[in-house]
């Protein structure tokens, strides 16, 4: 396996990635763990700068609107990298089931996937990857993106998977796409031995009262509960919800027939299972099944980050700056899980080792092939 310079290809050095919509760095962290050399992350949210740069020495954060990003900038960041990977996990809110107002909310953000497609056309990276919510596959903008890749000669694979099958201690269904100019590519198969529970990752953390913080870790901080919600969480069973409570604790809206269809709020997690899907409001007891399995409080910010695969020492806020639940909840809840990023990186490295040495070294020569779409066995939903 050789590069254009005739030397042996070294995947851990020569597979170079630019991470668009990088957020707090979940995907980047996983890719680096897998041996991918990430050189730049791009995001418009200024709150992403500290966690991205503080945890990835030597990787530059660029605050850009991807809709206005020029291909020449990405080319400059790639330099003369033998194998170029362009990652683009566009904000998922327009496609999420948490908001059904598809026709009126977030339409401008849908176009970000089109801009990602534009940059793929203009840059011509060797490999493309994308992560998003499962429902993205239902929308024309996703079909257009896949069609763009195939027109450029990429082999395209995508599937909907549960991150819990890949070592994340959280049930989180995501669409993952991989595309390559070098031949068929797909995500590696899950391994049952990778499965983790809430207990596996949270059991050893210091005990907290609601509204308090750990003296050794500012991010291990829990939101204060009202007296009523404190009573409610004490009456909640692990794996249960508001249905466990005595009648006087049940909210008026849940006593009505329309409210009874919302069982997944005011719930406690279980130690012996993966966590439910984290949202950007995982720190709020009333926002989902985010009650601590045994303590009378909701998840701390650190616990949410750990359930997203971030290391326990991952820095999200500079020293001296206040902890803002809403900002950090957004960064953590919207992150690509680190475990998923690692699996994507491992799959890319495996693909490069298998295929790249047999392919032409010129991106322009590689264009024009008929891309083939490969989908896995999971139902696209």
Whether 90 and 76 share a structural domain: yes
- For residue 292, the Cα-to-chain-centroid distance in whole angstroms is 22
Distance CA 40, CA 25 (A): 11
Sheet holding 173-180, edge to edge: 60-63, 37-43, 15-20, 83-88, 127-132, 173-180, 155-162, 373-375
CA dihedral 343, 348, 351, 357 (to 10 degrees): -150
pLDDT of residue 264: 61
Residue 375 inside a domain? The answer is no
The token pair that represents 18 in the structure block: 């630019």
Boundary (domain end) residue, out of 333, 358, 376: 333
Whether 161 and 215 share a structural domain: no
Half-sphere exposure of 365 (CA within 13 A, CB side): 4
Looking up residue 19, the CATH number of its domain turns out to be 3.40.50.150
Residue 80 inside a domain? The answer is yes
Looking up residue 211, the CATH number of its domain turns out to be 3.90.120.10
Whether 35 and 180 share a structural domain: yes
Residue 3 inside a domain? The answer is no
Whether 274 and 153 share a structural domain: no
pLDDT of residue 118: 97
Mean pLDDT of the chain: 87
Backbone φ, ψ for residue 165 (5° rounding)? -75, -10
Mark the ranges of the chain whose per-residue pLDDT is less than 70.
Answer: 1-8, 11-12, 92-110, 252-264, 357-381
- CB proximity list for 18: less than 8 A, separation 6 or greater: 38, 39, 40, 41, 42, 74, 77, 78, 84, 85, 86, 87
Q: What is the pTM of this model?
A: 0.89
- CB proximity list for 235: less than 8 A, separation 6 or greater: 244, 245, 246, 249
CA dihedral 70, 74, 75, 80 (to 10 degrees): 180
The token pair that represents 140 in the structure block: 């024309």
92 tagged catalytic: yes
Residue 344 inside a domain? The answer is yes
Whether 264 and 364 share a structural domain: no
Whether 179 and 239 share a structural domain: no
Whether 51 and 186 share a structural domain: yes
pLDDT of residue 367: 41
Give CA separation, 362 vs 76, 83, 102, 355, in Å: 17, 11, 41, 14
Query: What domain range includes position 328?
Result: 198-333
Boundary (domain end) residue, out of 290, 315, 333: 333
Angle at which helices 107-123 and 140-151 cross, to 10°: 0
Instruction: List the one residue out of 210, 240, 205 whose CA is nearest residue 225.
Output: 210
Residue 180 inside a domain? The answer is yes
Distance CA 115, CA 130 (A): 13
Residue 303 inside a domain? The answer is yes
Whether 340 and 306 share a structural domain: no
Domain count, the chain: 2
Residue 376 inside a domain? The answer is no
- Map residue 123 onto helix, strand or coil: helix
**Set 48, 92, 163, 253: catalytic member:** 92
Residue 185 inside a domain? The answer is yes
Half-sphere exposure of 108 (CA within 13 A, CB side): 3
Asked if residue 225 lies in contact with residue 297, where contact means CB atoms within 8 angstroms, the answer is yes
Whether 323 and 278 share a structural domain: yes
Whether 189 and 177 share a structural domain: yes
The token pair that represents 208 in the structure block: 């907290």
The token pair that represents 146 in the structure block: 């896949």
Asked if residue 85 lies in contact with residue 348, where contact means CB atoms within 8 angstroms, the answer is yes
Whether 144 and 204 share a structural domain: no
pLDDT of residue 7: 63
Whether 213 and 321 share a structural domain: yes
pLDDT of residue 254: 58
Boundary (domain end) residue, out of 333, 348, 376: 333
pLDDT of residue 13: 77
């Amino acid at each position: 396996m050789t590069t254009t310079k005739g030397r042996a290809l070294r995947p851990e050095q020569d597979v170079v990635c630019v991470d668009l919509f990088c957020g707090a760095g979940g995907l980047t962290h996983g890719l680096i763990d897998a041996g991918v050399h990430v050189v730049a992350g791009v995001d418009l949210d200024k709150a992403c700068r500290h966690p991205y740069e503080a945890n990835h020495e030597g990787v530059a954060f660029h605050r850009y609107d991807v809709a206005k990003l020029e291909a020449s900038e990405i080319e400059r960041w790639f330099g003369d990298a033998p194998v170029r990977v362009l990652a683009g996990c566009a904000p998922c809110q327009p496609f999420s089931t948490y908001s059904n107002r598809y026709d009126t909310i977030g339409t401008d953000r849908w176009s970000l996937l089109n801009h990602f497609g534009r940059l793929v056309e203009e840059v011509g990276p060797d490999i493309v990857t994308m992560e998003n919510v499962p429902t993205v596959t239902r929308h024309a903008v996703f079909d257009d993106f896949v069609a763009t890749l195939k027109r450029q000669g990429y082999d395209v694979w995508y599937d909907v998977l549960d991150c819990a099958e890949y070592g994340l201690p959280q049930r989180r269904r995501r669409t993952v796409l991989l595309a390559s100019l070098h031949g068929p590519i797909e995500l590696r198969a899950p391994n049952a031995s990778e499965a983790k529970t809430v207990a596996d990752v949270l059991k050893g953390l210091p005990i907290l009262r609601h509204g308090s913080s750990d003296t050794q870790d500012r991010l291990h901080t829990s939101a204060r509960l009202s007296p009523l919600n404190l009573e409610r969480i004490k009456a909640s069973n692990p794996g249960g919800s508001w249905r466990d409570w005595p009648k006087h604790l049940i909210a008026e809206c849940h006593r009505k027939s329309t409210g009874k269809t919302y069982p997944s709020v005011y719930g406690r997690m279980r130690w012996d299972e993966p966590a439910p899907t984290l949202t950007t409001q995982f720190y709020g007891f009333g926002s989902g099944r985010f009650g601590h399995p045994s303590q009378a409080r909701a998840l701390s910010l650190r616990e949410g980050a750990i359930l997203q695969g971030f290391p326990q020492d991952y820095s999200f806020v500079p020293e001296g700056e206040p902890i803002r639940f809403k900002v950090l909840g957004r960064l953590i809840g919207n992150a690509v899980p680190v475990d998923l990023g690692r699996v994507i990186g491992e799959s890319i490295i495996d693909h490069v080792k298998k295929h790249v040495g047999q392919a032409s070294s010129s991106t322009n020569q590689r264009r024009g092939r008929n891309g083939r779409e490969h989908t896995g066995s999971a139902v696209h939903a």
